[in-house]
Structure 1
Amino acid sequence: MSRLGKITRRTFLIGSATIAGGVAFGYYMYRRPHENPLLDDLAEGEAALTPYVKIDAEGVTLITPRTDLGQGAYSVQAALIAEELDIGLDQVRVDPGPPAPAYYNTALAAESVPVRSTNDGAMANTVRGVADAVMKFAGVHVTGGSSTVPDSYEKLRYAGAVARETLKRAASERTGLPVSRLKTEQGAVVLPDGSRLSYVELAAQAAQVEPVTDVELRPPNLWRMIGQPMQRHDIVAKSTGTAVYGIDLAVEGMVHATIKLNPRQGGSLQDYDATEALAMRGVQQVIPVTGGVGVIADNTWRAFKAAEAIRFDWGPAPYPNDMDEHWAALSNAFNEDQIDARRRDEGNVVEALDRASEVVEAEYRAPYLAHAPLEPINAIVRVNPDRVDVWTGTQIPRFVQANVAKIVGVDSEQVHIHNQMVGGSFGHRLEDEVVKRAAELAKALPGTPVKLVYSREEDMRHDFPRQIAMARGRGSVRDGRVEAYDLGVAMPSVTASQLSRQGLNVPGPDLQIIAGAWDQPFSIPHYRMTGYRADGLAPISSWRSVGASSNGFFHDCFLDELIHAAGADPMEERIRLCWHEPSRQVLETVKAMSGWTGPRISENRGRGVAFCLSFGVACAEVVEVTQTDRGIRIDTVYVAAEVGRVLDPINFENQVQGGVIWGLGHAMNCEITYADGQAEQTNYHAYPGLRLYQTPDIVVQGLENGDKVLGVGEPPVPPAGAALANAIFALTGQRIREMPLNKHIRFV
C-alpha cells in the first residue's frame, strides 16, 4: 500500500471522505457536497474519495454513520453497501465514522414539515425537498425518528455501486481488459479466465482513477442479502458476552467519576459539604460542575458511595412541584390562546355536534415516562492542549463535538468523537448532558482521561422523560356510523425542550404535539384535530415514537368509543373509514391474521384493534386478552405494518416485537411522577416495564406494497397500548382512559 498517492481534492461530485491508508467511495444526490470529513488527517500514502467504503491493507471497512442502539443499524447499513459492492458481511469491518456534515440525515425532513405522509403531490414533495435541503445545509448528523433505513436505502447502495464500478475500472486499466468483460464477486474483480484481483490489491490503482458515478443499482431479483434473513455482525459478540459498549471501555491512565446533581431537574446547587466523602477510601477529588458536583475516585463503586456521603443544599425546581399541578397546567392549556396547531379541520365539527342527539365526551391522560435503557449513561473525556477525545455512545455526534469544544475552549475540529455501541437508548442518547459534565471534569484534570458513569438512580432522576399529555374528545354518530370527531391534545413541546439544551429554539408550532393524530387516514365527515401547548412543565425529550406514543392511545381509543356508540364492529368501521389504500390493506391483513369475527371471542376472552400512522408507517395491531381469577392476561398480539420493503425479515420481526413489548409494558405498568419537584421512580423496582411472564405471543407481518422504504423501530409502539385498552373494554366493559392501565385493572 506504500504506492498509494495522497489525494488532496476537498470534494468530489458524488461526495468525498478520507479513510487513513485506503480509498473510500460514497454517493450524494446534490452537486455541491459537503467537504470530505477526514482529509485533514490524511497522511502520505493514504487516499480516499468518498465516505462509505474503505479499502486498505487490512481489508474492507464500511462506514455506517447511523448509531447502533441495539436495533442493528450498523448491520443494515453495511448490508446495503455490501449488496452492491459484491462482498460478504463476514469480509468487512464496520466503523461509525467521524461526526461530519457529510453524514447528514436525509430522512429526518419528513417528520419536520406539516405535510401528511399520505400526500404525494407535487407541492408536498417540494416542501419535503426544501426541508431536506435545510437538513443538508445544517449537516444534521443524527440518528433517530426510525430514519436509518429510509435515509440509507438508496444512498448506501449507490455508494457500494460506485465503489464496485470504480474498482472494475481500476482492474481494466491494470489488465487492459474492457470493463464489460469483468465482474465482481466476494470482494474481488473476476477476470474472464477466472483469476481474481482482490479489492485490497486494486485499492492503490482505484485511488488514482476517476470514480465511476454513472451506475445502475441491481434489481431485487439479483440481490444476495437484502430481503433475506441476515446474521447481524454483532450477534456472536452479543451472544458470548464479548460485545463492547461505552460502559466497558478503559483508557490508559483514566480515573473514575460519578456525579450528583440537583434531583429537581435543572435546579441549582446552593451549597455542599464533601468532608466525609473526601475522607473515604479511593476518593481523590470532588469537583463542582453545572448543577452539582463530580466525584473522582479510583473505581466507579467508590465514587458512587462517596457521592452518597455528600451533604447538599439544593435549590427549588423550575417547574411545578407535584403532579396535581402538572395535570392542572395541561387542563388549563385547553384554550384558544394556547393553540399550537390545528392541522385538520374538515366539515363543520361545531354544527355537527350541536345538532347531534347525543355527544360522546372523554378525557384521556398519559404520564411522564423514563427512557431507562439497560446501560446507564457514560462517557470518557480526555483533554490535552491540542486535542480532546470523547468516547461515548451518542445519536448526535456533531452536537457533542460542538458542546465539548465550547466547554473546553477549543475549536470543534480538535474534538474527536469515538462513537460506541449503545446498550439501549429509546431516545435517551439524543441528549448529551453526560458528555458535557464529563468534559467539565476532564477540563479540571488536563491530560487525564475521566470516565464518568451515572448511577442508575442518578440516570433516572436526570432523565429527560417522555412528555406528559392530556386529550379531550367530543364526537357523535349517526345511522350506525361515526359522523363527528373532535380531539384536542395538550402537552409541552418536546422539540422546544430538547433543542433548548442545544441553544436552539422552535420558530413555529411543534408538530410532535399532534403527531400520530392529525394525519390519520380516516374519512370522517366532520373531523378536527387541535394541539395545545402547555408551558412551564418538567424538561422532556424524544421518547420512542415521541408525540405519537401518547397520541396513538388518545386518537384510537376515542375512535373506538365512537364506533361502540355507533353499534358498529371495531374492525369493520375502521376499514370502512380508511381512505388510504396501503393503510386499509394493513387493517385487512391484521383482520385476517387474527381471524377477526368480532371483539368478543368467548365469555372470558376479548380482543381490541388499534391503528396508528406514524413516521409514514401504517401499523395495525390486535390484542387478545383473557379474564382469569387473578386478573387480565394478554395472550396474543397480531401486528401488520406497511414499510415498503422488508430488508431483513428476522430483524424486522425483532424490531416490531420489541416495539410492541415496549408499548404494552409502559401502557400497563410505568409512569414517572414528581413530588417536591423530584422524580419518585429511580430504579426498575418502581418502573417495571413488561415482565417476562406477562409477555404475549407476537405474530408479525410486514407489507411491501408502498412506494417508499420506511423504518419500523417506532411505529409499533403507538397502537399497542390503545389495542390493549380496547381489548379490555371489549372483555369487561370498562373503558380505561388513563395510562398506566394498572391503576385501574389487575394484570397477571
Structure 2
Amino acid sequence: MSRAGRIARRGFLVGSVAIAGGVAFGAWRYTRPLPDPFAKGLPPGTEALNPYVLIDGSGITLIAPRADKGQGARWIQAALIADELDIDPAGARIEPGPVSKTYYNTALLQENLPVDPTDTGWLAQTLRAGSDVPARLLGLQITGGSSSVPDGFEKLRRAGAVARETLKQAAAMREGLSRADLRSGDGNVILPDGQRIPYTELAAEAASIAPVQDVVLRAPSQWRILGKPVQRADIVAKSTGTQRYGIDLAFDGMLYASVRAAPRGASVAKVEAAAAKGMRGVHSVVPIRDGIAVVADNTWRAMQALQEITIDWAFSDLPGDQQAVWDSLTAALDAAQIDSRPRDTGDVENALAAGAVIEAEYRVPFLAHAPLEPMNATVRISDSQCEIWTGTQIPDFVVAKVAALTGLGEDGIKVHNQMIGGSFGRRLELDFILQAVQIAQSVPGRPVKMIWSREEDFAHDQPRPAQIARGLGRVANGRIEALDLAIATPSVTTSWFGRVWRALPGPDATITAGAGDQPLAIPNYRVTGYRANEVFPVSSWRSVGASGNGFLHGSFLDELFAAAELDPLQGLIDLCNHDVSRRVLNELREISAWTGRAAGQGRGRGVAFCLSFGVPCAQVVDVADTPKGLRITRAFAVADIGTVLDPVNAEAQLSGGMLFGLGHAMNCELTYRDHVPEQTNFHAYQAMRLHQAPEITVRLLENGPLRGLGEPGVPPAAPALANAIFAATGQRIRELPLSRKVRFA
C-alpha cells in the first residue's frame, strides 16, 4: 500500500460528536479522508507514521504545525506528541511541516463562536462540540488566538499514542508476540525479556500495516513531560543568540533586497533611481506594486541605495492624519448605529434615569506590532515552482495568494515556515511576502532575501485600532446600579479578512471582546459596539479587542467602585458570577496581601480583571510617586488555564504578557500625519525599560477548561496600572499612553 493510502486511512482526528454534526454540512465531505501532507517529497528511508510523526534511520521528527513566535509553541506541540510516544522531545527534530489542510485549527474557530466563554448551556456546548465540522471543511492552518495548546491537546497526544501502538504492533508481528505484552520507553519497544528494539528499526514495518486506532490517552498522573517543570529545548539557543530565524537564512548565490512602499492612499507617480543604480553592490532597481525595491549583494547596500531614490507619490483624497481617526470614532458613537450589543441586562435607561449619572470618555491609541525581527522573506522562483522561506501564522493563505500572483498552481508553492522573532499579530499579514515574491520574479532561479528597514516596518504596519468609549454609570447605597459602555472602533475582522481572503459579513465580536463578555452580575449592564469607518488599515494585536477594551471597561468600572466607596477587589469578587473567575480573584487577594487601594503616602494599588480567550486573569499593580516620577514597585497576576502543561513557560507567558501590557500602557502610541506614522523607530516608541520592570508574582490555577496563555496576561495590565495611579495620586487618567499625563521613573 502507498504511503498516501496508509495515512489517508488514519482518521484519528474524527470524533463521534463531530461526525454527528457533519450531517448538517454534508457528512460525506466531513468524513472523507484528510489530505496526506507526506504523500510525496519524503526522502528515501523516511516513514510517516501519521501527519505528526516521521522516522528515519537517524531519528524521529515531530511535526509542530503551529507557528512559533517566541512563545515556545513548537516545544509544547512536540511535548504533547512525545509524552505519548515515549520519547524525549529534546532528542527529536521538531519541524513545522508542510502546508496542509490536515493541520486545521478547531480551537480558533471555537474561540470565535457567538457564545460567552463562560456559557455552559446546551446550545453553547453543542456549538463547541460541532465546531470541528466547519473547521475541518475550511481546513485553515492558522496560528493565533492562544489556540495552539487547546487545539493540539487531543490531536497531538493521539498522534503520539497511535504511532507508539503501531510501532508496538509491528514489533509484536515481527517477534510473534501479543502487543499487550510489550512496553515502550525512550524511543524503544521493550519485549517481555527486556530486549529493546529502537523505533528507527521498526518504522518501515509500522508504516506498512494498518495503524492501531484503539488507543487510550494517558491520565495526567502518568505524564512524564507534561505538567513538569522542564527546560524547553530552544531556550539555550534563544538565550545565547544562536537561534536561527528567517532573517538569518543564507543560500549560495543569494541576492538581497529592501523596499519602500507608498503611504496608504498613495501610488508611485515618478521615480528617479539613476544614482541608486550606480551604487556599489546594486544589482537592480525593481518596481513593485505601489513601491520600489532595490536588489543588491547585501541588505545594507540595498537599504542605502533606497535612500538615494527620489519618489514622487500621487496621493488620493483619503484622510491621512490622526484627527481624522478621532473624528471617525466620534461619528460612529454619535450615529448610534449598533454593530453588536453582547450585554444588555436589566433596564439600563430607567436605572440611569433614577439618579445622578457618572460620565466618562476613554481613548486608546493605535499601537504598532513592532516585533524585534522586522518583516522579511526569502523567495526563489522558477517557471514551475515558488519556494518561500519566512515566518508566517497563515501559511495556507500565503499559498493561495502567491499562486494567484505568480500564476503557478498551489501545488507549485512551497512554504518553509521559519522560527519567528516576535509577531504579536504582525505575521498574520501577507504584504511583505507578496513584495518578496514580486522581487524574486525579476531574478528567476536566484534566491532573494527581502528585509524591511525598521522605518518601513513602522510605516507599513497594520496597527491595533484606536478606540473611543463613552461610559455612563450610576451608583447607590454602596453598590453599582448601572453600567453602560459604548465602544467605537473599526473592524479588525473586516479589515484583515479583506486583505488575506474576503471580507466577512455580520457583526464583529472583537469590537466588544474583553468588555461585553465579562462575568459580572451588575443589575443593569449594557455594552454596545459601534463600527467606525476605517481611516487606516488595522489588524490583530496581542489579545486583539480585549487589549484596548480591558482598559476601557476595567478603568470605568474602577471609577464606579470609587464613586460607590467600594473596595475594588472586593467589589469584583462580589459582582463575579463565574466560579472559576471568582477563584482567580480570591487567589489574587491572597498572593497580593490586598488590604485596599491605599498603600501609604504617595503610594497606591490598582486592580483589574479581564476574561479573554476564555481565560480569567486578574492583576494588581503597586506604584509609588517618587521625585523622579512614578515607579511600579510590585505586580501580581493570577490566571486559570485549566491544565498547566509547561509550568515554567506558563509563568513566563503570564508575567511576559503583563509586562507587555504595562510597557505599552506607559509609553506607546502610533499617531499619523500625512498618511504615515510619526513614530519611525524604537526611539519614539519605547516600551518599558529594564530598570522599570517590577517583580511579578504569578499564580496559575487549574479549575476551568484547558486554555492557551499567550494573550490573556495583556488586557488587565493597563487598567490595573491606571487604577493604581489614581489610588496613589488621585488623578484619573482616561487616555493611553499614560505618559501623556504622568512621568515614569
Q: Aligned partner of 2:438: which letter?
A: E
Q: Does 1:289 align with 2:285?
A: no
Shift in Å at residue 685 of structure 1? Answer: 0.2
Q: Does 1:733 align with 2:730?
A: yes
Give aligned-pair identity as a percent.
53
Shift in Å at residue 527 of structure 1? Answer: 0.5
Q: Hey, what does 1:312 align to over in structure 2?
A: 311
CA distance in 2, matches of 1:195, 1:595: 56
Q: 1:391 aligns with which of 389, 394, 405?
A: 389
Q: Is the 8 A contact 1:27 1:156 kept in 2?
A: no
TM-score by length of 1: 0.96
SS of residue matched to 1:333: helix
The correspondence of residues 331-480 of structure 1 with structure 2, limited to 5 A, is 331-335=330-334, 338-356=337-355, 358-480=356-478
Shift in Å at residue 218 of structure 1? Answer: 0.8
Shift in Å at residue 101 of structure 1? Answer: 0.5
Q: Hey, what does 1:721 align to over in structure 2?
A: 718
Shift in Å at residue 44 of structure 1? Answer: 6.8
Shift in Å at residue 622 of structure 1? Answer: 0.3
The correspondence of residues 257-296 of structure 1 with structure 2, limited to 5 A, is 257-262=257-262, 264-296=263-295
SS of residue matched to 1:636: strand
CA distance in 2, matches of 1:266, 1:403: 22
Shift in Å at residue 34 of structure 1? Answer: 1.8
Q: Hey, what does 2:585 align to over in structure 1?
A: 587
SS of residue matched to 1:124: helix
CA RMSD between the two structures? 1.4
Q: Hey, what does 1:181 align to over in structure 2?
A: 181
CA distance in 1, matches of 2:317, 2:404: 25
Shift in Å at residue 178 of structure 1? Answer: 1.2
CA distance in 1, matches of 2:335, 2:115: 23
CA distance in 1, matches of 2:370, 2:616: 27
Q: Aligned partner of 1:416: which letter?
A: K
Q: Hey, what does 2:163 align to over in structure 1?
A: 163
CA distance in 1, matches of 2:730, 2:647: 37
The runs of at least 4 consecutive aligned structure 1 residues that moved more than 4 Å come to 42-47
Shift in Å at residue 318 of structure 1? Answer: 6.4
Q: Hey, what does 1:19 align to over in structure 2?
A: none
Q: Aligned partner of 1:727: which letter?
A: A
Q: Hey, what does 2:302 align to over in structure 1?
A: 303
Q: Is the 8 A contact 1:604 1:626 kept in 2?
A: yes
Q: Is the 8 A contact 1:519 1:613 kept in 2?
A: yes
Q: Is the 8 A contact 1:495 1:512 kept in 2?
A: yes
Q: Does 1:247 align with 2:247?
A: yes
Q: Aligned partner of 1:551: which letter?
A: N
Q: Hey, what does 1:18 align to over in structure 2?
A: none
CA distance in 2, matches of 1:321, 1:204: 62
CA distance in 2, matches of 1:41, 1:108: 29
Cα distance per residue 1:534-574 (max 9 Å; x no partner):
01311011100011000000011111111111111111111
Q: Is the 8 A contact 2:55 2:203 kept in 1?
A: yes
Q: Is the 8 A contact 2:7 2:51 kept in 1?
A: no
CA distance in 2, matches of 1:319, 1:590: 48
CA distance in 2, matches of 1:523, 1:575: 10
Q: Is the 8 A contact 2:47 2:54 kept in 1?
A: no
CA distance in 1, matches of 2:313, 2:160: 55
Cα distance per residue 1:46-77 (max 9 Å; x no partner):
54342001111121000000011000000000
TM-score by length of 2: 0.96
Q: Is the 8 A contact 1:613 1:715 kept in 2?
A: yes
CA distance in 1, matches of 2:412, 2:289: 23
Q: Hey, what does 1:711 align to over in structure 2?
A: 708
Q: Hey, what does 2:503 align to over in structure 1?
A: 505
Cα distance per residue 1:574-626 (max 9 Å; x no partner):
10000100000000001101000110111122101000000000000000011
Deviates more, 1:494-503 or 1:643-652: 494-503
Q: Hey, what does 1:111 align to over in structure 2?
A: 111
CA distance in 2, matches of 1:438, 1:528: 47
Shift in Å at residue 90 of structure 1? Answer: 2.6
Q: 1:28 to 1:317 in 2, by over 3 A?
A: farther
CA distance in 2, matches of 1:211, 1:185: 19
CA distance in 1, matches of 2:562, 2:100: 52
Q: Aligned partner of 2:720: which letter?
A: A
The number of residues matched between the two structures is 731
SS of residue matched to 2:500: coil
Cα distance per residue 1:162-220 (max 9 Å; x no partner):
11111111111011111121100000011111110110011111012211111111111
Q: Hey, what does 2:200 align to over in structure 1?
A: 200
Shift in Å at residue 338 of structure 1? Answer: 2.9
SS of residue matched to 2:315: coil
CA distance in 2, matches of 1:317, 1:480: 55
Q: Hey, what does 2:526 align to over in structure 1?
A: 528
Shift in Å at residue 503 of structure 1? Answer: 3.5
Shift in Å at residue 240 of structure 1? Answer: 3.1
The correspondence of residues 600-611 of structure 1 with structure 2, limited to 5 A, is 600-611=598-609
Q: Aligned partner of 1:441: which letter?
A: I
Q: Hey, what does 1:97 align to over in structure 2?
A: 97
Q: Is the 8 A contact 2:48 2:55 kept in 1?
A: no
> Any stretches of 5+ residues in structure 2 without a counterpart?
20-30
Q: 1:669 to 1:242 in 2, by over 3 A?
A: same
Cα distance per residue 1:332-368 (max 9 Å; x no partner):
1014553110111110100100112x10100000000
Q: 2:687 aligns with which of 667, 679, 689?
A: 689
Q: 1:539 to 1:10 in 2, by over 3 A?
A: farther
Q: Is the 8 A contact 1:322 1:676 kept in 2?
A: yes
Q: 1:63 to 1:173 in 2, by over 3 A?
A: same
CA distance in 2, matches of 1:124, 1:477: 33
Q: 1:744 aligns with which of 729, 736, 741?
A: 741
Shift in Å at residue 45 of structure 1? Answer: 6.0
CA distance in 1, matches of 2:561, 2:34: 52
CA distance in 1, matches of 2:136, 2:3: 25
CA distance in 2, matches of 1:243, 1:266: 38
Q: Is the 8 A contact 1:255 1:450 kept in 2?
A: yes
Shift in Å at residue 447 of structure 1? Answer: 0.9
SS of residue matched to 1:501: helix
CA distance in 1, matches of 2:741, 2:242: 43
CA distance in 2, matches of 1:392, 1:407: 17
Cα distance per residue 1:312-349 (max 9 Å; x no partner):
11122664222122111101101455311011111010
Q: Aligned partner of 1:231: which letter?
A: Q
CA distance in 2, matches of 1:211, 1:632: 62
